[in-house]
Structure 1
Amino acid sequence: MRIMGLDYGERRIGVAMSDLFGWTAQGLEVIDRKVVVDFMARISDLVRDYEVNEIVVGLPKNMNGTIGPSGENCIAFADNLMSTLDLPVRLWDERLTTVAAERTLLEADVSRNKRKQVIDKMASAILLQSYLDSRSK
């Protein structure tokens, strides 16, 4: 059973995938919405190719727990995924996942240009791993 993690943004969507046991998350790719016109078709292809059974979408909450405009966009995206792919879609609090990814890349001395290319993929992996860890408790 594979679970896909998506870090949804206005420009890019970070994609992560679990292993078959649902224990670990690996960053898979970044879908650039300015390059990939039909990003839903790309997600659908990944769901089919990896035999995904569940999708986790990051929900960006404000630090006080409220949901702002970005969160509302993610909720609409998750609803669209659920109806399009007919799979369970979970929203998962993603507060600080991008910050954690940025910090990790800075500590690894990754160049600014390279960080820009992989940060969304890494954030989706952190988000998915957090979800997987919560299930194992």
Structure 2
Amino acid sequence: MRIMGLDFGSRTVGVAISDALLVTAQGIETIQRKSPGKLRQTLARIQELTEEYQVEEIVLGFPKNMNNTEGERCRSTLEFQELLKKRCNLPVVLWDERLTTVEAERSLMEGGVRREHRKSHVDRIAAVLILQGYLDARAFQAEKSGNSE
């Protein structure tokens, strides 16, 4: 079993995939979108990747505002979630993505990636952070429920 993580943006979708043991997340690509309203090719590529990697669940970054409210980006993410469920026939879990792009940008800066090259990597790294957060929370819950028995 593998889990896919997505960082959904207006121009790109960062994609990450878990290892088979659900311990680590690795970035695999950034899907370039032709325009914000056109999702057919994006959904087709995501479906191809779910089949290629034998994905059984998708984690989609949910861009809440810092004050925990939901803005326009949340509405478009919810619409994308429904399209993903229908297209891929997989569960799609929403995961709080606040500050993942900032953290991705910082890690690229610390890694010495030049400013002009960061943009091509930041969405993929953000997807890794979203998925890794989800995997870590799953592992923590499993450990916690295992210890309480």
Is the TM value for this pair above 0.5? yes
In the alignment, the residues of structure 2 paired with residue 3 and residue 70 of structure 1 have an alpha-carbon distance, to the nearest angstrom, of 23
User: Where in structure 1 are there 5+ consecutive unaligned residues?
Assistant: none
Q: Check if 1:122 corresponds to 2:134.
A: no
In the alignment, the residues of structure 1 paired with residue 74 and residue 94 of structure 2 have an alpha-carbon distance, to the nearest angstrom, of 10
In the alignment, the residues of structure 1 paired with residue 22 and residue 81 of structure 2 have an alpha-carbon distance, to the nearest angstrom, of 20
Q: Check if 1:84 corresponds to 2:101.
A: no
Q: Check if 1:101 corresponds to 2:104.
A: yes
In the alignment, the residues of structure 2 paired with residue 48 and residue 37 of structure 1 have an alpha-carbon distance, to the nearest angstrom, of 17
Give the TM-score normalised by structure 1: 0.96
What are the within-5 Å matches in structure 2 for residues 18-97 of structure 1? 18-34=18-34, 38-97=41-100
Aligned length: 137
Q: What is the match of residue 6 of structure 1?
A: 6
Q: What is the match of residue 136 of structure 1?
A: 139
Shift of 1:85: 1.2
Give the TM-score normalised by structure 2: 0.89
In the alignment, the residues of structure 2 paired with residue 37 and residue 63 of structure 1 have an alpha-carbon distance, to the nearest angstrom, of 31
The percent of aligned pairs where both chains have the same amino acid is 51
Deviations 1:40-92 (A, max 9, x none): 11001000000000000000000111110011111110111011211110000
The one-letter code sitting in structure 1 at the alignment partner of 2:116 is N
User: Where in structure 2 are there 5+ consecutive unaligned residues?
Assistant: 141-149
